[in-house]
Amino acid sequence: MHLTAPAILLSSRAHGEHGAIVRALTREAGLQAGYVRGGRSRRVRPVLQPGNLVQGEWRARTDAQLAALTVELLHSRAPLFAEPLPAAAIEWATALTASVLPEGQAYPRVYDALEAVIDAVEAAPAARGWAVALVRYELLLLAEMGFGLALDACVVSGSRDDLAFVSPRSGGAVSRSAAAGYEGRLLALPRFLIEGGAADWDALDAGLRLTGHFLARDLAVGRSAEVLAARERLVERLQRAGG
C-alpha cells in the first residue's frame, strides 16, 4: 500500500513514547489512518493539529497493516485555535468526521464540504459567517451515511409549500397546516435550510437543534457518541455569542 495525497488532519493521539496515530481525510481515498514517527516531538506536533491541510504519504506492506505516515504541512489552521469559537467549530467538525466515516472509502462531497467549512471559519472567525455552513455539513454527513432528512416536501400531505417543521421520528418535513395541533412534538425547520442564504441566531439555533437530534439518534452512537461533548461545547459558545 502506497498513497500520496493532500489530506485534512482529523485527529491525532499519542502512541508509545514518541509517535502518534493520525486519522486524515483525503478526497479520493477517503479516511486514512497512519502512524507518524516522532509525532509527539516539538517539530511535528504542530503539523498534526486538527484542521491542518497536509501532504500525506502512507506506506504499508499489506492493507491490514497500519501504515507508516509522513506529513508535510501545506496550510496551518493553528492560529484559529487561539479563539474559543473557531477552535470549538474545527474540533467538532473534525472529530465527528473521524468518528463516523469508514476507512478507505471515498467521500469527495464530504471532503469538499469539510474543507469549505474550515475555510469559512478561517475567513470569518465571527460565528455568523460560518455557522450556517456547519449546520449544512452536519446534514450532509447524515445523508452520506444513509440517514438523510427529507426536507423537500411535507411527509403528511406531499405539499412543498410552507414547510415549517420536521418529524423527529421520520426526518420528513411537515407543513405548517399539517402540523396544526402537533407543533410541540415537532422540530422547527429554519428557512435557510430550504431557501439557502444567511440566518439569524434564532434560525441557527433551530438548525443546530434539528441536526443535533438526528446526529445523536442515528450517527454519533456507540463509541462515536463520545464526540458529542465537543458539539455541546460548541453550541454553548454559540448560544453565548448569540445572546
The CATH code for residues 80-242 is 1.20.1440.120
Q: Is the pLDDT of residue 243 over 70?
A: no
Task: Name the residue among 146, 155, 145 with its Cα closest to residue 179.
Answer: 155
Listed by start position, the domains of the chain span 2-76, 80-242
Sheet holding 150-154, edge to edge: 150-154, 172-175, 163-166, 187-188
Q: What percent of the chain has pLDDT over 70?
A: 99
Cα–chain center distance at 156: 30
pLDDT of residue 90: 96
67-75 vs 150-154, strand pairing mode:
unpaired
pLDDT above 90: residue 1: no
Between helix 201-214 and helix 228-242 the angle, nearest 10°, is 170
Cβ–Cβ under 8 Å, residues 239 and 231: no
Q: Rounded mean pLDDT of 1-29?
A: 93
80 vs 223 pLDDT, higher one: 80
CB 24 within 8 A of CB 54: yes
CB 28 within 8 A of CB 106: yes
Secondary structure (DSSP) of 190-206: -THHHH-S---HHHHHH
Q: What residues does 70 pair with on adjacent strands?
A: 57
Neighbours of 225 (CB within 10 A): 13
Q: Using the structure block, give the residue that is written with the C-alpha cell 451515511.
A: 145
Residues 54-74: tens digit of each pLDDT:
999 999 988 778 999 999 999
Res 222: pLDDT: 87
H and E: helices and strands count for the chain:
6, 9
pLDDT tens column, 98-145: 999 999 999 999 999 999 999 999 998 688 889 999 999 999 999 999
Q: Distance (Å, rounded) from C-alpha 91 to C-alpha 10?
A: 9
Band the pLDDT of 50: cuts 50, 70, 90.
very high
Confidence of residue 15 (pLDDT cuts 50, 70, 90): confident
The reported pLDDT for the residue numbered 242 is 75
Q: What cell does 189 get?
A: 425547520
Torsion angles phi and psi, residue 98, rounded to 5: -65, -30
Task: State phi, psi for 20 to the nearest 5 degrees.
Answer: -150, 140
Domains 2-76 and 80-242 equal at CATH topology level? no
41 close to 14: Cβ distance less than 8 angstroms: no
Q: How would CATH label the architecture of 2-76? A: Beta Barrel (2.40)
- pLDDT tens, position by position, 209-224: 999 999 999 999 887 8
Mean of pLDDT over the chain: 93
